[in-house]
Amino acid sequence: MKNRLARRESCLGVSLMFCCPQVVEMLGYLGIDWILLDCEHGSLTLADVEHMSIAAKSAGISVIGRPATNSSPDIMAMMDRGVDGVQVPHITTPEEARRAVDAVKFHPDGNRSLAIGTRSSKYGIGQTLSQYVSTSNTNSIVVLQIEDKEAIQNLDDILETTGVDVFFVGPSDLSQSLGYPGKASEAPVRNVIDQILTRISDAGKSSGIAGNIESIIERRSKGVSYLYTHLNTILENGVANMTHS
């Protein structure tokens, strides 16, 4: 997934807010590229994140965790559970962006706390601690959420942050920050989203966004690479197709 994002190829994901490893497996077998485990808005615990990450691994898909906050302890705790990367909410300044990367990466790329025996280190089996550091720094994925007016004002500086794989536009919170809560598809918000995505692309970076199935298809056609919808959206569409057929 990291290599595909670097090439700005599309990666399709599904967000889950509750614990169900079996659903993770099914999504993998259905051809989804990755899942988002949402600890910001969902009921997932860190133990749930670890169990569902194991399910993702068995199904051959990548897993991104969204920590409850953009604090270093929350980010590091998710990384230790064995997620492939994190999607960090509410990044508003270049300083916050740098701290997020530092929480994901070990020295010399960051200052993440180092421990052997975690799931992310394969429990310390079959590799040295220094090998784990190198592999994690190389393979870990960092996604930063741009979803506040302050972030738009600081966007150029945020985009200069090294070690970031995707700059993600959060449509729901952005709509609220712009004074149109829940109205991301209305022109004033949509225009701002389009401008942000263009600025990310012009900077040579990979962009991301969430939405319904129709908007995901549209954004994919316009070069957005990190895309996802929510499990409830997929269920709602599937049930509607069944009951209306």
67: cis peptide before it, omega within 30°? Answer: no
Asked if the model's pLDDT at residue 183 lies above 90, the reply is yes
Query: Which pLDDT does position 244 carry in this prediction?
Result: 81
Of the pLDDT bands very low, low, confident and very high (cuts 50, 70, 90), residue 116 is confident
Please state the three-class secondary structure of 144-195 as a single string: EEECCHHHHHCHHHHCCCCCCCEEEECHHHHHHHCCCCCCCCCHHHHHHHHH
- Per-residue pLDDT, averaged over 55-83, amounts to 97
Catalytic residue chosen out of the listed positions 41, 51, 107, 244: 41
Asked if the model's pLDDT at residue 172 lies above 90, the reply is yes
Query: Which pLDDT does position 108 carry in this prediction?
Result: 97
DSSP 31-92: T--EEEEETTTS---HHHHHHHHHHHHHHT-EEEEE-SSS-HHHHHHHHHTT-SEEEE----
Query: Which pLDDT does position 101 carry in this prediction?
Result: 98
Asked if the model's pLDDT at residue 32 lies above 70, the reply is yes
Asked if the model's pLDDT at residue 33 lies above 70, the reply is yes
Write out the two tokens for 64: 């991104």
- Per-residue pLDDT, averaged over 76-83, amounts to 97
pTM of this structure: 0.96
Distance separating alpha carbons of residues 115 and 96, to the nearest angstrom: 24
Residue % of the chain over a pLDDT of 90: 97
Catalytic (active site) residue 51: no
